Structure 1
Amino acid sequence: MKTDILIIGSGPVGATYARMIAEQRPNANILMVEVGPKVSDTIGQHVKNITDPQQMETAQILSQGPKKTPYPMISVAERALAVQRGELTADILARAGTHLVLDQPEEIKTNEMPSLSMSTNIGGMGIHWTCACPRPGKGEQIPFIPANEMDEALTEAEKILHVTQEAFPISEEGETILHILNQTLGDKHSPKRQAQPMPLACKVDSEYNRYWTASDLILGNTLNHPNFELRSETICRKLNYQNGKITSAEIEHLPTQQKELIEADIVIVAADALRTPQLLWASGIRPQALGHYLNEHPFVFTFVELDKDLVQNHSPNPTSKTHSRKSPDPTVGVFWTPFDAPNHPFHGQIMHMDLSPMKTTVTDESKHIVGLGWGPLKEANFEDCIVFSETEKDYFGMPKMNFKFQYTEKDLEAIEAAKAFQQKVVHSFGKEIKDGGQTLMPPGTSLHYEGSTRMGVANDGSSVCDTYSQVWGFDNLFIGGNGVIPVATASNPTLTSVALAVRSSKQVVKQIKA
């Protein structure tokens, strides 16, 4: 088969490429392949939009690759205790809708990123994410992309993702939380980096009915475009190339084991930060930096029961815009303390326990419990990397991966500083609950993996692609996803990855002949 564009991966970044190319080059043929299945009636929708609990659970299980049963609910405290005892299992370390990269007990115990996970389905991790879309702060920005260009790309990405800070009504409790956060932060912060509602990828109406963003919204009309085709349960096993050009891709439909050779003028690999470098490595495309500089911010989490007199103990805001609570809205939505080095060199996220990716076994609905996640930067090091096997295969028959990942002394100091700041906030809110005291989560827990296919300004071995995500030495190969982010970040990376895809798409469009 021949096509103009082959996109490997159907998550938010792959969907962004497809949409932008289809809009600007409507005559171009686009083939998108996804190794995972369709998991719901609406192609690529977020699982939080599925109202039936059983159907939501089914969608999550279908996304879990080799894991075909529900994960039990493991609280933060139970998980922390298991980690301390070394009793690590897949059920403890993975979340619903994901599966561990390495899931055998002995592999988990020796893996330096034991909680490293991925989702395998149409829409990728993007149908399971928290939808948090903060802009990177001072100390997280990519230094070699002009600030005005990145700002334009971020603005366009926010439109594509339907980012809003009004997904939840501001309740009295929420307003008080913001007040306390800003008291703790103080006045020393950059413009627009005060505590505020978290920007969320979500369509919301006047009644606060929410539809969370995933690949279905990102693709939009592209799904019905006559020149667009999406194939599920189809893996790309290898890219063939000659003289700096991808000549074909070897794909396989997993249920039937039918193999096919695809010729494409341009190939875009947006599998994720793990499987994108895996495919390049399997294809013999092995720049020195491939799989290296693997990064993930440390993740410190705790739950707090809000003081029952919290609102009364703080002066009301004279310019209050609070709303009456509308069931089933949680009393507290999602709030953000922005990364802002050196003033607040952490990313903080505060959310009602109903919205939290971490769990607690407390079920008393009369208690207002919020989860607090705080994260500093982790230094980017060449030694932190994916190790690909020349002989062993993974669940999908691709080169097996293992991981090297260590915190430096500077990283450990940053973690302790994040814990200390988080504790200040905790004491202002109320008290930590027994089930979920302050815990440094195991590496891999955040799901924010970066750097494995990092971009750079020169083909000197320190990067995999240029600033437009074009792989060094190739005329028609582009890559996308969190892996291309070349700097350490503490904030959620999806907005940045989509912005980089927006910027890259404009370069791709210039090369399309159709």
Structure 2
Amino acid sequence: MKQIQTDVLIVGSGPIGATYARLIKDALPDTKILMIEKGPRLTGKAGMHVKNIEDDQERERAQILSQGPHQKPYPLITVTERANAVNMGELSIDLLGRPGTHLVSENAEDLKANEMPAASCSTNVGGMAAHWTCACPRPGNAERIPFIPDVEMDQALTKAEKLLCVTQSAFPESAEGLAIQKVLGDIFNEQLTSGRKVQPMPLACITNEKGERYWVGPDVILGDLAEPGYAGNFELRDQTICRQLYKEDGHVTGALIEHLPSGTREEVKAKLVIVACDALRTPQLLWASGIRPKALGHYLNEHPFIFCFVELKDDLVDTTLGKRYDQSSRTEPTIGVFLVPFDDPGHPFHAQIMHMDVSPLKIETHGNPKHVVGLGIGCLKEMRYEDCIEFSETEQDYSGMPKMSFQFQLTEKDRAQIASAKVEQVKAAAAFGKVIQEGEQTLMPAGTSLHAQATVRMGVADDGTSVCDTFSNVWGYDNLFVGGNGVLPVPTTCNPTLTSVALAVRSSEKVISLLKHNSSYEQRNTFRGKPEIA
């Protein structure tokens, strides 16, 4: 079997893998990095967001290529149809699948046994960040990690916002948008502390002088590394899976990788390994490699999410605009996305209000869709060891890795949180107008948010309740790091990508320090030291 050598092996090409690659290359330009991705490259620039593809057919093609074993378009269904499918036990891939993703459960039998039926992955260069909504709110008080100092975390969040080009000006200011903010402010601002008021959603987006939007994917984080034909010592291999990590005496020596189209296998020798292939497949790879700390796959968390859709009442629209939009007009203003931040105890929820053009969920409308807003609200889910991913010793998934199944239950505390969130949502909906028939208040199936967390969670001690330390270094291994939403150790309600990128920024400091102290493959024991972290 052919052997290859690299300084750093990164498994996964999403925003976390891209963050590690970018920061390592900036600090240590001569470092050799190999990044591998199980799925195909969708665009010339590695990891570009598919919303930047102008041609509709090409964009759909890119979405389908990302769907793993489900290489065909999903039927368009409403939010209510999706939720009712779970409530009635009528589960199917077509009802639960969303463009650019594929369900972890591969058939109806698995879906019936899955307590997180909508759990999904994106299998492509860029991962799910080639398809995401780009929402980047900062976590609120109880969502923050208690054992990372606030000043330190804020610095990491600021760096993450810079990498992701986060802005609150992605959409132009409009009278209707201002009216939406005022309605929300009148309802919620008294409950919110200073700095956590109703505001435009921070979005990962670049706008030019014409106001045209370029949605941020891992390509933006990677910079020149994402360009086709990049000639430096960074290599991105698509359609290449990591089958197993090789380990010896608390040290990962390399990995077995396979090019899926050809079946060609190679052994990679690496100084340092970073596994960042989402919150589901990161623990899957560790488990397949015999790296099985007690907490691996456990404490699985996702915020319950409730959706409804409201048609703005006439007096609100007429007062702010003076007339209804002309449906044939191509120049009408876009409302955008708005945020009511999590702020415990006054508002222990995360609420976002979306114009339908930027909503990831379909809704039928019988009038002008520019008058419909989606009200989404999420609440904290109690974190429990019992909620987990289970990996099979005997069965495999479509790609030949250990098959996953899910244990995930709502507690009484969770149900009380959901009931309170519904009351808040009803209050907001009444202020805006009328809930439309196809968009009644609905608790979405578990997994719908695509924000699975905590499966390789960080902690302060190797006591069985965590997988890695506060710098994402896996307990018991001097050169193995994990990244992504799986490292988040506390329940959250907000979109987690910004926080996960910030944790990767912080972790990169330790990675860079280790690489500086390890000048050759033979000097692996230097990883056992404790170099200072800037």
Range into which the TM-score falls when normalised by the shorter chain: over 0.9
Using the size of structure 1 for normalisation, the TM-score is 0.96
2:413 alignment partner, SS class: helix
2:316 alignment partner, SS class: coil
The answer for the alignment partner of 2:345 in structure 1 is 342
Distance 2:80 2:313 in 1: 21
Distance 1:364 1:358 in 2: 18
Distance 1:38 1:335 in 2: 32
The answer for the alignment partner of 1:56 in structure 2 is 59
The answer for the alignment partner of 2:446 in structure 1 is 443
1:234-245 map, 5 Å: 234-245=240-251
1:182 alignment partner, SS class: helix
- The reply on whether 1:88 has 2:94 as its aligned counterpart is no
Map Cα deviations across residues 287-328 of structure 1 (whole Å, 9 max, x no partner): 000000000000100111011211456899xxxxxxxxx945
When structure 1 is superposed on structure 2, of 75-84 and 435-444 the one drifting more is: 75-84
Q: How big is the shift at 1:282?
A: 0.3
The answer for the alignment partner of 1:125 in structure 2 is 128
The answer for the alignment partner of 2:503 in structure 1 is 500
The answer for the alignment partner of 1:249 in structure 2 is 255
The answer for the alignment partner of 1:454 in structure 2 is 457
Distance 1:91 1:363 in 2: 24
Distance 1:315 1:304 in 2: 18
- The reply on whether 1:108 has 2:111 as its aligned counterpart is yes
Distance 2:369 2:491 in 1: 40
2:83 alignment partner, SS class: helix
CA contact (8 A) 2:174 2:333 kept: no
Q: Match for 1:248: what amino acid?
A: G
The answer for the alignment partner of 2:297 in structure 1 is 291
1:114-513 map, 5 Å: 114-223=117-226, 224=230, 226-311=232-317, 327=330, 331-362=334-365, 364-365=367-368, 368-512=371-515, 513=518
Distance 2:481 2:138 in 1: 24
Q: How big is the shift at 1:367?
A: 5.2
Map Cα deviations across residues 405-450 of structure 1 (whole Å, 9 max, x no partner): 0000000000011111001000000100001100000000000010
Distance 1:329 1:297 in 2: 34
Change over 3 Å in CA distance of 1:283–1:328 after alignment to 2 = farther
Q: How big is the shift at 1:109?
A: 1.5
CA contact (8 A) 1:22 1:222 kept: no
CA contact (8 A) 2:342 2:494 kept: yes
Q: Give the one of 7, 12, 24 matched to 2:27.
A: 24
CA contact (8 A) 1:168 1:329 kept: no
Q: How big is the shift at 1:76?
A: 1.2
Distance 2:208 2:307 in 1: 31
When structure 1 is superposed on structure 2, of 328-337 and 36-45 the one drifting more is: 328-337
CA contact (8 A) 1:90 1:103 kept: yes
1:229 alignment partner, SS class: strand
Instruction: Judging by fraction of residues, say which structure has more helix.
Output: 2
Change over 3 Å in CA distance of 1:366–1:143 after alignment to 2 = closer
Q: How big is the shift at 1:329?
A: 6.2
Q: Match for 1:232: what amino acid?
A: D
CA contact (8 A) 1:378 1:411 kept: yes
CA contact (8 A) 1:161 1:213 kept: yes
Q: Match for 1:304: what amino acid?
A: V
Q: How big is the shift at 1:354?
A: 1.4
Distance 1:363 1:188 in 2: 35
Q: Match for 2:176: what amino acid?
A: E
The answer for the alignment partner of 2:528 in structure 1 is none
Identity of aligned residues (%): 60
Q: How big is the shift at 1:208?
A: 1.6
CA contact (8 A) 2:305 2:378 kept: yes
Q: What are the ranges of 5 or more consecutive residues in structure 2 without an aligned counterpart?
A: 323-328, 520-534
1:474 alignment partner, SS class: coil
Query: How many positions carry a matched residue from both structures?
Result: 505
Using the size of structure 2 for normalisation, the TM-score is 0.93
CA contact (8 A) 2:176 2:321 kept: no
